[in-house]
Structure 1
């Protein structure tokens, strides 16, 4: 790993009241002395004036020094809490660059140093990334399980259990001429099956966690002017898609995301799946077909007021058992179509 001292501003390109500049590496103490003109006590917030190398006053802020290895990166770390002016931050960064072997950090380099210095393991790094990307409370809580080490602790426990079971097997092989007590065999089998069950449950949970992290894809398909765009607008209560009386008005795939009980649900409004000579519309159909293959849930929408609505429904490619059929314009049909599993009569226009 490079032994350079690195720095990074948290909010350089945003106008904020306070910004933080972090420094990490072997020259951190030297930087504190050059910019603050005095040494700092460890883990104590100091109100200090910040100067240039040539003793020009730049700003006044809070400085905190963390001594290695008791810091976030495992190296000496300095935090400068300064006013969030672009000019102030830029000037401090210019002064830092005047010191040899001090440079601006690459993206993710602080976390990288935390990993290499055993401050974070790989699962915690991934948890941190998920935490930064979290947009729902459920995503936040799930990310914290990894970031705070809960998942790593569980894996370490399983590792030790496997080592213990492996040692029992090795002992049985080394002393194969001796009779193993039946009770010992029962205990071994119980521990093995218990561990197997825990791993299988964790694997199932991982699949769920992936959906929490990435969201659920819901694709809405159907013939032109069946009410696909209106259905999504009704669900999201937003006017997202182009809705008109002319069939085929959705040319591109339009997506929107909503938080449902902590799960991000990504709705995709597609062009009607049909043959067309219009090259632009044909591209929309092609994209819809590709998206259908990777979606989690499909909503097939047809116009129930049309005489051949059943034939239209059959023509729409079906994703899997997680396909919901919506028979729209039920307010125009005198005899209601019988609802069944995953099949619903609706009137999007009247919101029923």
Structure 2
């Protein structure tokens, strides 16, 4: 059941968190937080997303705030460092914000940059982490099949753990996986799961070796667990640049997976100059458990009245969609 809008609005707070480094075009991350009977939850679809897509995020937030969650199987989650599309000279400073992380996810295919920039960045990460570090790359679906094949060849020398969402469509992923299968570099699907009307299509098509799942965009922890179970593929839990409240939901999802072979992308709190609570990686891990925002930080990080009103209106529209869908 979707709770009344008034119950959500009663505790709703909109925050604007400054980033230490521009990430996916974002300098300040906005989110709407609210408290339900089970604890605090986060509603933070990216601003360009439609109300229809954003309403799924709201369903995930409501589920976390109003519904008891599955019992965790782990108390701590290993996480990866996240390296934005920075110049090679900034890599060491970024990695320093992720103490103890043995894995790094490197953003590639940034608009306005070249493959040579990606190669230089990944090389800098490999040099910083040494031969035992694990490196995965994420193209956010920006390459076509030929570009992706060429890029994977160019980056293979750095011993990639996997390539995340190299192409946008399931058909492209399937073709690329066939082309590069001999290289032994797994293909992971992110947007093809969380932004798809059928999140299982990528598994049925044999288009990916791994799934990258996110709690809020998939409508909550129970639904995300169902998708993983039906897909029958290994899963990695990642954030959508969440505040600490959303990261706590992601950690609870990771803690509930029957198997968890990979470090998860839940250390992104380290990319914020300040957060509403502290869930930054320590010794390469984050703890599992619900969090409450710090009251003083909620005040200091509050969004402007104009942005707060924008988020309240968005919440209202998305709530109406959930009520209409039953």
TM-score (norm 1): 0.22
Greater relative contact order (Cα < 8 A, sep 6+): 2
